[in-house]
Amino acid sequence: MILRYRIIRSKSKNDLHQNKANRVRLDFVRYFQYVKECIFPLSANLAASETDSLAAENQPALLSATNLTCIREERLLFDQLTLEINAGDIVQIEGPNGSGKTSLLRILAGLSQPYNGDVFYKNQLITQSREEFHQNLLYLGHLAGVKDEMTAQENLNFNLTLHGLSIHSSELEETLTLANLTGFEDSLASHLSAGQHRRIALARLYKSTADIWILDEPFTAIDKQGVNSLEQLFKAHIKQGGCVILTTHQDLLTFSPSQVKKITLDYIGE
Amino acid sequence: MSVANLSYRAVFALVLKRDLTIAMRHKDDIINPLLFFVIVVTLFPLGIGPEAQTLSRIAPGIIWVAALLSTLLSLDRLFKSDHVDGSLEQMLLSPQPVFILVLAKIVAHWLITGLPLILIAPLLAVLLHLNEQSYGALILTLLLGTPVLSLLGAIGVALTVGIKKGGVLLSLLVLPLYIPVLIFATSAIDTAALGLPYSGQLAIIAALFFGSLTLAPFAVGAALKVSTN
């Protein structure tokens, strides 16, 4: 994995404002692109499949990013971050609170727009191959995305079906058993504990066909045994040619240190 | 288990069913706007006096203003709870077109808040001595008009969903967009009371409906992307 990044200590305010003006212009361009994609989804797909056949020859990185810059509240979180994540990588993003770990994950997932820089999925801009990228992406953020008013089983079923996986109810139960939620299938999520909430969201991992897993603090509120079985799951996933990108403050115990690639974000504000 | 490309109809049905299930288990969402509507309309005769002529004169305005405000009251739920628990992010990250997801959510919102209003409106119209000839116009304008309120309101909610206290901003954004609906709807009902054809006003509301039905989901999708940024 190639990993380079550098943080520029200070940028003059003028520079920032200049960039902001560019950014606004860029937003307009993106909006029109978005509208165009909505109206002509076919042409976008065609262009994507052409570049795909070209890129397939030299095994492109699953996920790569160039020159990412992220600014939050007038504070520079990271600058000129370039990274490349290949099949079989497990990447742990480290850094103190507020150093931009979540921001980086959201940018990689395409939820946030970086201030500057691009993210590529198999050498295609993720904004251009949205559908294909999202088909192969599993992102779990701070918020579990579990509805309180639905049961564990309904939540899992909705999440899987929405992401294009059709599944039988017997398999749903099986999956919930794997996630250690036996006996809670028909309980409303609002009646479950924080850890069980998290487990409902994580249960998706057992059935996921996505290559890229982006997990923001997946171990929060999960017990030791659960962490262990999640790590086994990560191992199986990277063996199958996927990759895992996660933030966590604890070490991955069952992985040898050389297996885990680390990106450390150091907070250097203005 | 298999990876299947869901048809748009299946995605639509999936999200619609989910939102309706949630609403049925969280009945406040249905009852609150409806109760507000009933309370506002029943308070007017008490405040103004039971004189039939005055009431039947202002009945269209009262019913429509109450419907408009009760929709505004319920708009917040459209995306707020999904935003708070992270399921909105998950929807935006799904490989399904945002247009369909958003449209399903708006349709669910209308079924939960708009449809009950239409069902109860004739009853309230009796309380206000609405002219007998106006009932058809009342139902038709509500049928065409309340979806417009949900569709246009969704744009406002999508823009303000990321803001902690966006309630005031939402009203400011959305109310001006509601005014054309209000004007043409009440005018249609008034015209019907005089026994004149009101198809002109109805056609304009229908145009607003189809315009917002086709365009609003795009705007909502784009606004949600900005809000979750």
Reported as a single tens digit per residue, the pLDDT across B40-57 is 999 999 998 888 899 999
Residue B187 in tokens: 């005018």
The pLDDT assigned to A268 comes to 59
The pLDDT assigned to A179 comes to 87
Looking at A32-41, A143-152, B184-193, which range is the least confident one?
A32-41
Residue A195 in tokens: 């850890």
Q: Please determine, for residue B172, whether its predicted confidence score (pLDDT) is greater than 60.
A: yes
* B227 part of contact set with chain A, CB < 8 Å: no
Cα A96 from Cα B126, distance rounded (Å):
65
Identity of the residue numbered B65: V
Q: Please determine, for residue A57, whether its predicted confidence score (pLDDT) is greater than 70.
A: no
- Considering the entire predicted model, what is its pTM? 0.84
Angle between helices B199-227 and B135-160 (to 10 degrees): 20
More confident position, A24 or A211? A211
Identity of the residue numbered B18: R
- Residues A203 and A233: beta-carbon distance below 8 Å: no
**% of residues, chain A, pLDDT over 70:** 77
DSSP calls for A150-195 = SBHHHHHHHHHHHTTEE--HHHHHHHHHHTT-TT-TTSBGGGS-HH
The residue in chain A having the minimum alpha-carbon distance to the alpha carbon of residue B91 is A162
- Residues A261 and A90: beta-carbon distance below 8 Å: yes
Average pLDDT over residues B122-137: 92
Identity of the residue numbered B133: Q
Q: What are the sequence ranges of the domains in chain B? A: 3-227
B86: left (phi over 0), alpha (psi -120 to 50) or beta: left
Cα diameter, chain A = 60
User: pLDDT tier at A260 (50, 70, 90 boundaries)?
Assistant: confident
Extract the runs of DSSP E, i.e. beta strands, from chain A.
3-4, 63-72, 75-85, 90-94, 116-121, 124-125, 137-140, 165-166, 212-216, 243-247, 260-264
User: pLDDT tier at B17 (50, 70, 90 boundaries)?
Assistant: very high
Residues of A in Cβ contact (< 8 Å) with B97: 38, 41
Least CB-CB distance to A166: which of B1, B22, B94? Answer: B1
- Helix, strand, coil abundance in chain A, percent, nearest 5: 40, 20, 35
CA distance B95 to chain A (A): 5
Q: Please determine, for residue A20, whether its predicted confidence score (pLDDT) is greater than 80.
A: no
Reported as a single tens digit per residue, the pLDDT across B58-101 is 999 999 999 999 999 899 889 988 999 899 999 999 989 999 99
At residue B121, what are phi and psi to the nearest 5 degrees?
Answer: -60, -45
Least CB-CB distance to A147: which of B4, B85, B97? Answer: B85
Chain A residues with CB within 8 Å of chain B CB: 31, 34-35, 38, 41, 109-113, 131-132, 134-135, 137, 139, 141-150, 154, 158-159, 161-168, 171, 188, 207, 209
Reported as a single tens digit per residue, the pLDDT across A152-198 is 999 999 999 998 888 888 888 888 888 888 888 888 988 999 889 99
Residues of A in Cβ contact (< 8 Å) with B108: none
The pLDDT assigned to A46 comes to 44
Q: Please determine, for residue A52, whether its predicted confidence score (pLDDT) is greater than 60.
A: no
Rounded to 10 degrees, the C-alpha dihedral A247/A250/A254/A260 comes to 40
* B9 part of contact set with chain A, CB < 8 Å: no
The pLDDT assigned to A36 comes to 60
User: pLDDT tier at A6 (50, 70, 90 boundaries)?
Assistant: very low
- Residues B155 and B216: beta-carbon distance below 8 Å: yes
CA distances from B198 to A104, A217, B32, B117, B189 (A): 57, 60, 32, 22, 8
| Alpha-carbon A88 to chain mean position | 16
- Residues B150 and B103: beta-carbon distance below 8 Å: no
Residues of B in Cβ contact (< 8 Å) with A31: 222
The pLDDT assigned to A24 comes to 54
CA distance A256 to chain B (A): 32
At residue A254, what are phi and psi to the nearest 5 degrees?
Answer: -85, 0
- Residues A200 and A156: beta-carbon distance below 8 Å: yes
**Nearest residue to A135 via CA among B7, B89, B95:** B95
User: pLDDT tier at A244 (50, 70, 90 boundaries)?
Assistant: very high
**Nearest residue to B93 via CA among A141, A236, A196, A184:** A141
User: pLDDT tier at B229 (50, 70, 90 boundaries)?
Assistant: confident
- Residues B36 and B78: beta-carbon distance below 8 Å: no
Residue B183 in tokens: 């004007």
Query: What is the interface pTM, i.e. ipTM, of the complex?
Result: 0.87
Q: Please determine, for residue A44, whether its predicted confidence score (pLDDT) is greater than 90.
A: no
Contacts of residue B93, Cβ cutoff 8 Å, sequence gap at least 6: A109, A110, A111, A134, A137, A139
The pLDDT assigned to A40 comes to 55
Given an 8 Å threshold on Cβ–Cβ distance, is B6 in contact with A164?
yes
The residue in chain A having the minimum alpha-carbon distance to the alpha carbon of residue B223 is A31
Residues of A in Cβ contact (< 8 Å) with B222: 31, 34-35
Given an 8 Å threshold on Cβ–Cβ distance, is A162 in contact with B14?
yes
**Nearest residue to B78 via CA among B192, B166, B190, B200:** B166
Residues of B in Cβ contact (< 8 Å) with A135: 95
Average pLDDT over residues B159-181: 90
